[in-house]
């Protein structure tokens, strides 16, 4: 079981930045539908994705998973700390970042396609048994 607060914190942190779920693709390479599933608790990110998300928002993995950050974000003193992280408009101003994000986005899409193919293969193998 991933932490009790993970899905709640993902939504609170995203909203604290004023980002939409669609903007999470340019920030993290995570599609809107996948991000939505994370926020609702329908699916849970793997540990690498959790680490990437914690880096984006400048919070520890432990805090992301184990603490209710929505209450922390309501305090104006704490909110500033979480909103100082660069948004997609700043991250993508550097040409090197653009290239890196483009490559990472393509790699993540390839990874998603591979996962889909594995699932199809597994389902096919089960049907043939």
pLDDT in tens, 9-32: 999 999 888 889 998 888 888 999
CATH class of the domain at 1-86:
mainly alpha
Residue 12's Cβ-count burial label (10 Å; 0-12, 13-18, 19+) is: buried
Please give the C-alpha separations between residue 116 and each of 14, 29, 60, 107, 111, in angstroms, as whole numbers. Answer: 27, 17, 30, 14, 9
pLDDT in tens, 96-112: 555 565 666 667 778 88
pLDDT band at 92 (very low <50, low <70, confident <90, very high): very low
Average pLDDT over every residue of 73-95: 52
Give pLDDT, residue 6.
92
CA distance from start to end of the chain: 31
The whole-model pTM stands at 0.58
Q: What are phi and psi of 3, to 5 degrees?
A: -50, 150
pLDDT in tens, 40-83: 999 999 888 988 898 888 888 888 888 888 877 666 555 555 54
pLDDT in tens, 116-127: 898 898 888 888
Average pLDDT over every residue of 80-90: 49
């Amino acid at each position: 079981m991933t932490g009790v607060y993970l899905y709640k914190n993902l939504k609170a942190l995203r909203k604290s930045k004023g980002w939409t779920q669609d903007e999470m693709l340019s920030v993290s390479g995570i599609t809107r539908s996948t991000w939505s599933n994370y926020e609702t608790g329908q699916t849970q990110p793997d540990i690498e994705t959790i680490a990437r998300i914690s880096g984006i928002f400048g919070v520890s993995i432990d805090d992301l998973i184990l603490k209710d950050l929505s209450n922390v974000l309501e305090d104006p003193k704490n909110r500033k700390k979480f909103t100082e992280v660069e948004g997609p408009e700043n991250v993508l101003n550097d040409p090197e970042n653009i290239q890196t994000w483009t490559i990472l986005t393509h790699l993540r899409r390839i990874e998603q396609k591979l996962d889909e193919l594995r699932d199809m293969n597994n389902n096919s193998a089960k049907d043939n048994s």
